[in-house]
Every structure is written in structure tokens, then in C-alpha cells.
């Protein structure tokens, strides 16, 4: 591991560990995270951020998942990155992203010297807590970043299973040029949806590492029939399976992270999100079984992870969504195209890894 | 924090251009090979094919040139193996020698053993079998009873080895046996011997598998006189040597690609269908393959750097066997198996072959329960 990377992760890890005792205080978490400048980690140095490879910045998101960080760091990383790419100011406020369902994109039209945007942004994360919401729309084959003011939107607040704010936004707005900014060709609405899925892969991988740790530790402490349950072979075998699921989720998330700059990122992220989602379900079933009734309580910390994992596996495309996307690509290439498809994706293109 | 890290797999342009070379070779070599043969995966035996592979310098690819190797990288070897498997090439003749017996000799063998054997392996002329399991020693390998009694000029071997894959085609066996009468010392009393299978007193009897095929055997030793220089490594070091052999055995592409040809023929059978059920199943299996291949390549990188990824290798093999076993199960749900449509003849043939093989995938090379025990030990539970 590179020095600057490990320094950053150490610092962030210490902070996230400190915040563990206040898992519901998103404001506090946000303030502390912002003090360290972490939300700028995916922004280039020239634009006021760090000089970090994307993989290192995204490692923060896995760490956030691992510690169940209350603040939406991943969303802020992406939002700031996009603001920088569009040449907009990155102020100190809280930014977040909102993403249209890829099957139901936003409509962006030019009306005289204004823009008109209509459509829906379902389950926008932390929308009411943000100072600016960014999303991507296309107009005349040009990607554009929309800077939305949360106060001006028709919003139906809600939460995911883990009580994280998820707001349905309905857009029917006029925006001026300052708020509709050109983006490079690669940064499409699909890019944002995929990147959201990538964030969830990282968070799932991080959370599963903790779930494994907690469960192994609990099994070592819980005594029944005169010995720790961890001494029972049936429990050991289940914990081994839990470890395989945590490991494969981490590997799949790594694959997604490496694809951040890759033009073929859609297929790689599809595979990763589908696999991470499945791993989350399988791993949690074991974690809860091993914990017994205590794991079903609100008081015990496992639920902080299980409810997040059950939510994250669905967000930005659940298993079914991404399996269909990947499956249609494989089927289109035909039987003899399967293996070349897998090997091509497994090797990075020129410049895909920073 | 429990460390289950799988470092980023190494990559090289050289390995990718080698892939093209391997594909070209296989396209010619295997033209006309039927799906039913391809699905045999690394159980497909063809001594002629192995010889031609040897002529390319592709057996013992990473070994030193002085022993007939090509001194290529472990990465290139990984590419070669996965391309052979993905193409359904008949690699069984040389597979065991290339995967584990040769590397074992390189590591522990005497200079004379290396010079006598390794070049012949690389030419595709010398095949190996593994003599570990016995009638009363399966998962509990240390319970092996075959006894090589040390005598003046060597050993006298008595005992029975079982499930010896391609023992009837092999020239040599790496025999795991006891060399001490002290049965209390379960590990320290064991050694490995290089057995020339033409020696008098060795009887190889076929055991037909449930499909009727003859892969494995019973190999009986009756007062077999083995010369002293057949000892591999140190007397009494058999157990440690076997463990290091198994790490190489457990994480390669042969641990998750065994039923790739079922998936390939499934995709062929699904052509023209336009339903989400097909997409979901194919997408899911592809996602599993891609993720597992990443882990497996990561282990290859660790092996290349001389690390000891016992835990990671066990994880790959456990997940790999599940995937290999699941592919035919899922395939059955997508194509109407009650009506073996003639248009899908290849699909049904590979499916029926695979259905009869898959139970072995979580037995051979360490059972599922044993692997999970290794993982549990890695978690600090045992
Ligand atoms: C296709 C095939 C090819 C093979 N080729 C070779 C070969 O070439 N050379 C060779 O030496 N061997 C070979 N084997 C043998 C293979 O290594 C053994 O099958 C394997 O080690 C398991 O031993 P066993 O079959 O005796 O089962 P057993 O060890 O008797 O196990 C039976 C069941 O009990 C379980 N079990 C055993 N011990 C424990 C425990 N402590 N805790 C929990 N569960 C346990 C096992 O997991 C399994 O489910 C081959 C096997 C197959 C299927």
C-alpha cells in the first residue's frame, strides 16, 4: 500500500471508529468528515482536491461501510467530483447525488434562454439534508450536470430499511445556464447510476468485513452446553461460508473499483453489484443464525449492518436488474463469445487504472 | 480485523499476447472436438495432445530451462491453464505432473530426480498420478497405512492406494506413505516416494465411476522394492511436503471452470429466446465466474510472490465447487429437460455428463467440509 493511501485510510479509520458510538448522528459525522476534507477525495488537486487515484478515494467508502458511518460520504465524493468536472464551485456545503431510473431518464429541453427539466429522481439519498443535489441529464447528445436546490423541489421524504433518508423527487423546473453545465462525454446519466452501484458495492464489502468480525467474535464468547459455540463444528462450517461470501464480495467490489475509469465499466460494475448483493443476503442469513435472538434486537449492533446491507443490495439496481443487464450482453455475444467476454473484461484497457 | 485480503491480480501485456498464441494453437488442435468431449475438462485424456503441447514448450511453462522448462511467468501459466480449460482441451495426461508433481520435485527433489524426470514431463512423455488416499484414509490423510520399510538399499513397500486418477496411464506415482513404525507420530512418520509404476509387485486395478467410465484405480503394493534414491525430500517430512503441494492444487482455474461447457452449451440452447429468466440466470452465473476468476488470479499472484495463501486457496476452491455444481442445476431449470429436443442434442449430452460428475467436485482435492475447516482455522476458530 502506498504511503499517502495508508495515511489517509488510517486517519479516516480513526475518525470513523470514534464516531461509532453515535451511529445516528449524521450531522456530527458529516461535520467531522468535512473537517478532514474527505468529501474532496475524488477531486483532482488542480480543482482543490487531493492528488489521489480513484481507487484510494473509493477505499474511504469501503471504510465508511465497515464502520457504519452515519454520513453519506460516498454520495458526496461523487457529487464533488461531478461539480469539479463541470467547472462549478465546490462550496463547503453538503452535496449529494440523485439518479433517475435508467429506464426512465430525465427530460432536458432548451426553452428560449432557459432550460426545462422534467422527470423523477426516485429515492434520492439525503436529498433534504443537502445544500446541492447534482444529477446528470442529456440534451442533444451532450451530457449535462444539473445543480438542483433541494428547497425548490417537490419532494416525498422517505427512508430505506436502515432509516437512511431516501427522497422521491419530482422535477418540473426551469433552470438557468449556471445550473445546467456541460460534462465530458463519458459522464452520462448511466455513468452516475453505475457509480452509485459502485458505491454500494464498496459499502457492502466494508460492512460484510465487520459482520464477519462481529460474528466470529460473538461465537467465541457465547457459551452454551459448557463451551463457546465457536467450538461446534456446525458453527465453524457456517462461519467459513460467511467468510467466503465476505471475501467474494470484497473481490467483486475491487473489480468495480478498478473499473472506475474503464470504458467497459458497465459490465464490470453489473457483475460486481449482482455478486455483492447476493453475498450480502447469504452472509447475513448466517450472521443472524449464529447470533441467535440477540441479533434480532435493535439494541445490539448487528442490525446497524444488516439493515444497511439489506437496503444497499437493492439500491442502484438489485441483483435482478444487473443480472439482466449482464445476461443480455452475454446472450447477445452467443455461446462462443462467453469466454472472450470474461477474459477481455478481466484485463484492464490502456489507462483504465490510474 | 480478520484479514481475508485478495490483492489486485497482477497483469502483463506479455501474458495477454500469449493468450492469443494459445488460442490460435487450440483453434487448430481442437477443431471438430465435440462439446461432449470438451465438457470432460481436465479429465479428458489424450497423450498425443499432451506431446504436442510439450513441443510448444507449454508443459512446465515456468520451470527452469535446465530441466526443460520455458522460464515463463506464473501469469502466463495461469493464462495457458485457463485457455486450455475454457477450450475443453484434453489435458489429463500431463495435468497432475504439471500442476503438482513437477513443482514438488522442483522444490524437494534431488538433482538426479529432477534431471531424470522433469525434462520428460515437459516433453509430454511422462505422466504422474497422486498416491494419497487409501481405503481407510480419505480426509484423514495422516491415517495412511501404506508402509515403506526402510532397508539397506532402499524401501520395501506394502499397502493399497485408492481413487488414483489415471494411475493406469501414469508412469510415476508420488506416494505418500509411512516410513516409521511409530504410529503415534502421525505426521513425522510419513514421507513421499517417487514410484516407478513398472516395478514388480505393483498391481493397478480399474474402478469404474458411476457413469461407467474408468478414471480412477486401486493401486496395490506387495513387497515392492524401491531404491533409496526414490525418496523425495527428507525422511519424515512427508506431511509438510504434502501440505505445500495442496496450496498449489486448490486455487487454480481448474477449481471453478469444470462445467464451463455446460454454461456455453446452455447459452447456445437459449439463442433466440427473449425472456428475463434466461438473462437473469446467465447474468448471475457470469457474475459469479468473473468474481471468482478475480480471486483465483489474485491467489496466482500471491503464489508467484512466494506467499502462502492457504486460506485464500481454500476460499477459492469452496466457492468454485459450489459454482461448478450449480451450473448444471440452473441449466436444468431453463431448458425443458422432460423433452430432450433434438435441436439441443449437444446441450443435453453435456448436461447429462456433468450431472454425473458434479458430486466429485466437492470431494476431490479436499472435501467441502475439510476446506471449510481450513477456513475456520484461518478465522482463528480452531
Ligand atoms: C473424482 C475423484 C478423483 C480422485 N482422485 C484421487 C487421486 O488421484 N489420488 C488420491 O489420492 N485421491 C483421489 N481422490 C480421493 C479424494 O482425495 C478423497 O475422496 C477425499 O480426500 C475424501 O476422502 P473420502 O472419499 O475417503 O471421504 P471421507 O474422508 O470418508 O469423507 C466422507 C464425508 O465425511 C466428511 N468428513 C470427513 N472427515 C470429516 C471431519 N473431520 N469433519 C467433518 N466432516 C468430515 C467428508 O467431508 C465427506 O463429506 C479422488 C476422489 C474423487 C472423487
Nearest to A338 by CA among B327, B184, B242: B327
Q: How far is B314 from chain A (nearest CA, A)?
A: 9
Distance between Cα B218 and ligand 1 center (Å)? 15
Same domain, A140 and A254: no
Contact list in A for residue B263 (CB cut-off 8 A) is 338
Asked if residue B97 belongs to a domain, the reply is: yes
pLDDT at B188 over 70: yes
Q: Is B287 in Cβ contact with A272 (below 8 Å)?
A: yes
Name the closest residue on chain B to residue A230, using Cα atoms.
Answer: B381
Q: What is the mean pLDDT of residues B4-10?
A: 90
Q: How far is the CA of B320 from the centre of ligand 1 (A)?
A: 17
Could you say which of A182, A212, A236 is where a domain stops? A182
| Tens-digit pLDDT string for chain A (354 aa) | 567 788 889 999 999 999 999 999 999 999 999 999 999 999 988 888 887 899 999 999 999 999 999 999 999 999 999 999 999 988 768 999 999 999 999 999 999 999 999 999 999 999 999 999 999 999 999 999 999 999 989 999 999 999 999 999 999 999 999 999 999 999 999 999 999 999 999 999 999 999 999 999 999 999 999 999 999 999 999 999 999 999 999 999 999 999 999 999 999 999 999 999 999 999 999 999 999 999 999 999 999 999 999 999 999 999 999 999 999 999 999 999 999 999 999 886 544 444
Q: Are B361 and B255 found together in one domain?
A: yes
Q: Please report residues of B whose CB lies closer than 8 A to that of A343.
A: 19, 82
Span B109-162, pLDDT tens digits: 999 999 999 999 999 999 999 999 999 999 999 999 999 999 999 999 999 999
Q: Which domain holds residue A327?
A: 189-346
Confidence of residue B1 (pLDDT cuts 50, 70, 90): confident
Q: Which atom of ligand 1 is nearest to the CA of B141?
A: 21
CB B143 within 8 A of CB B162: no
Alpha carbon distance A76, A27 (integer Å): 14
Domain count, chain B: 3
Of the ranges A23-32, B191-200, B333-342, which one carries the lowest mean pLDDT score? B333-342
End-of-domain residue from the set A142, A165, A182 = A182
- Cell of residue B183, nine digits: 504410529
Question: What is the span of the domain harbouring residue B171?
Answer: 130-237
Active site residues of B: 249
One domain, residues A167 and A202: no
Q: Which residues of B touch A336 (CB under 8 A)?
A: 264
Closest atom of ligand 1 relative to the B132 alpha carbon: 11
Are residue A30 and residue A172 in the same domain, yes or no? yes
Three-state secondary structure string covering B107-172 = HHCCHHHHHHHHHHHHCCCCCEEEECCECCECCCHHHCCCEEEEECCEEEEEEEEECCCCCCCCCE
Residues B47 and B165 in one domain: no
**Residue pointed to by grid coordinates 513421499:** B192
- Same domain membership, residue A199 and residue A111: no
Q: Is residue B6 part of a domain?
A: no
Task: CATH number of the domain at B134, please.
Answer: 2.40.110.10
The number of folded domains in chain A is 2
Residue A294: CATH number of its domain: 1.20.140.10
Whole-Å CA distances, B106 to B67, B68, B103, B119: 9, 12, 5, 11
Q: A275 CA distance to ligand 1 centroid (A)?
A: 30
In a domain, A352, yes or no: no
Query: pTM of the full predicted structure?
Result: 0.97
Amino acid at each position: 500500500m502506498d504511503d499517502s493511501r495508508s495515511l489517509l485510510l488510517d486517519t479516516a479509520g480513526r475518525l470513523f471508529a470514534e464516531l461509532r458510538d453515535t451511529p445516528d448522528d449524521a450531522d456530527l459525522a458529516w461535520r467531522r468528515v468535512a473537517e478532514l476534507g474527505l468529501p474532496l477525495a475524488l477531486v483532482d488537486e488542480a480543482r482543490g482536491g487531493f492528488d489521489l487515484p480513484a481507487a484510494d478515494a473509493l477505499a474511504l467508502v469501503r471504510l465508511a461501510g465497515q464502520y457504519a458511518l452515519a454520513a453519506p460520504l460516498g454520495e458526496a465524493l461523487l457529487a464533488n467530483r461531478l461539480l469539479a468536472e463541470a467547472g462549478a464551485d465546490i462550496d463547503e456545503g453538503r452535496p449529494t447525488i440523485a439518479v433517475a431510473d435508467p429506464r426512465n431518464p430525465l427530460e432536458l429541453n432548451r426553452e428560449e434562454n432557459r432550460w426545462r427539466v422534467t422527470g423523477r429522481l426516485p429515492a434520492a439519498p439525503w436529498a433534504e439534508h443537502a445544500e446541492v443535489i447534482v444529477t446528470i441529464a442529456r440534451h442533444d447528445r451532450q451530457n449535462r450536470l444539473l445543480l438542483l436546490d433541494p428547497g425548490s423541489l417537490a419532494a416525498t421524504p422517505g427512508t430505506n430499511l436502515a432509516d437512511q433518508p431516501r427522497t422521491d423527487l419530482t422535477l418540473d423546473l426551469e433552470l438557468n445556464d449556471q445550473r445546467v453545465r456541460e460534462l465530458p462525454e463519458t459522464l452520462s446519466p448511466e455513468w452516475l447510476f453505475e457509480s452509485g452501484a459502485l458505491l454500494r458495492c464498496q459499502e457492502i464489502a466494508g460492512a460484510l468485513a465487520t459482520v464477519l468480525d462481529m460474528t466470529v467474535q460473538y461465537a467465541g464468547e457465547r457459551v452454551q452446553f459448557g463451551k463457546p459455540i465457536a467450538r461446534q463444528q456446525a458453527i465453524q462450517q457456517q462461519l467459513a461460508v460467511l467468510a467466503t461470501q465476505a471475501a467474494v464480495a470484497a473481490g467483486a467490489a475491487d473489480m468495480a473499483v478498478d473499473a472506475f475509469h474503464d470504458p467497459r465499466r458497465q459490465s464490470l460494475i453489473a457483475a460486481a453489484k449482482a455478486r455483492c448483493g447476493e453475498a450480502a443476503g447469504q452472509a447475513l442469513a448466517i450472521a443472524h443464525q449464529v447470533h441467535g435472538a440477540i441479533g434480532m434486537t435493535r439494541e445490539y449492533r448487528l442490525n446497524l449492518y444488516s439493515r444497511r446491507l439489506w437496503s444497499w443490495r437493492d439500491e442502484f439496481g438489485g441483483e435482478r436488474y444487473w443480472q439482466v443487464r449482464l445476461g443480455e450482453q452475454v446472450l447477445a455475444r452467443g455461446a462462443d463469445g462467453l469466454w472472450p467476454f470474461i477474459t477481455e473484461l478481466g484485463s484492464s484497457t490502456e489507462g483504465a487504472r490510474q | 480485523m480478520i484479514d481475508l485480503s485478495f490483492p489486485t491480480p497482477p497483469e502483463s501485456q506479455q501474458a495477454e499476447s500469449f493468450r492469443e498464441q494459445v488460442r490460435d494453437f487450440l483453434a487448430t488442435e481442437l477443431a471438430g472436438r465435440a462439446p461432449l468431449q470438451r465438457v470432460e475438462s481436465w479429465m479428458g485424456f489424450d497423450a498425443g495432445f499432451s506431446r504436442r503441447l510439450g513441443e510448444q514448450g507449454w508443459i512446465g511453462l515456468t520451470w527452469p530451462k535446465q530441466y526443460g522448462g520455458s522460464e515463463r511467468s506464473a501469469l502466463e501459466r495461469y493464462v495457458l491453464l485457463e485457455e486450455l480449460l475454457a477450450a475443453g482441451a484434453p489435458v489429463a495426461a500431463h495435468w497432475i505432473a504439471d500442476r503438482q508433481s513437477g513443482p514438488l520435485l522442483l522444490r524437494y527433489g534431488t538433482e538426479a530426480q529432477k534431471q531424470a524426470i522433469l525434462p520428460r514431463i515437459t516433453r509430454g512423455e511422462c505422466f504422474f498420478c497422486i498416491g494419497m488416499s487409501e481405503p481407510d484414509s480419505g480426509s484423514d490423510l495422516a491415517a495412511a497405512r501404506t508402509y515403506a520399510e526402510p532397508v539397506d538399499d532402499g524401501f520395501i513397500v506394502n499397502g493399497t492406494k485408492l481413487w488414483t486418477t489415471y494411475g493406469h496411464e501414469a508412469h510415476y506415482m508420488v506416494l505418500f506413505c509411512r516410513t516409521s513404525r511409530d504410529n503415534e507420530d502421525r505426521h513425522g512418520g510419513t514421507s513421499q516416494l517417487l514410484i516407478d509404476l513398472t516395478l514388480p509387485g505393483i498391481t493397478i486395478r480399474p474402478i469404474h465411476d458411476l457413469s461407467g467410465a474408468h478414471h480412477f484405480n486401486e493401486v496395490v503394493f506387495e513387497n515392492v522394492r524401491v531404491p533409496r534414491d526414490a525418496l523425495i525430500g527428507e525422511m519424515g517430512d512427508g506431511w509438510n511436503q504434502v501440505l505445500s503441494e495442496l496450496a498449489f492444487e486448490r486455487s487454480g482455474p481448474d477449481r471453478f471452470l469444470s462445467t464451463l461447457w455446460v454454461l456455453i452449451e446452455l447459452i447456445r440452447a437459449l439463442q433466440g429466446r427473449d425472456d428475463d429468466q434466461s438473462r437473469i440466470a446467465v447474468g448471475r452465473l457470469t457474475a459469479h465466474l468473473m468474481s471468482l476468476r478475480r480471486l483465483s488470479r489474485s491467489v496466482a499472484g500471491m503464489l508467484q510472490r512466494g506467499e502462502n495463501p492457504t486460506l485464500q486457496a481454500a476460499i477459492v476452491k469452496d466457492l468454485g465447487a459450489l459454482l461448478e455444481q450449480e451450473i448444471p442445476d440452473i441449466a436444468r431449470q431453463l431448458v425443458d429437460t422432460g423433452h430432450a429436443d433434438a435441436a439441443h442434442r449437444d446441450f443435453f449430452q453435456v448436461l447429462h455428463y456433468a450431472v454425473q460428475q458434479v458430486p466429485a467436485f466437492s470431494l476431490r482435492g479436499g472435501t467441502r467440509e475439510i476446506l471449510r475447516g481450513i477456513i475456520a482455522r484461518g478465522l482463528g476458530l480452531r
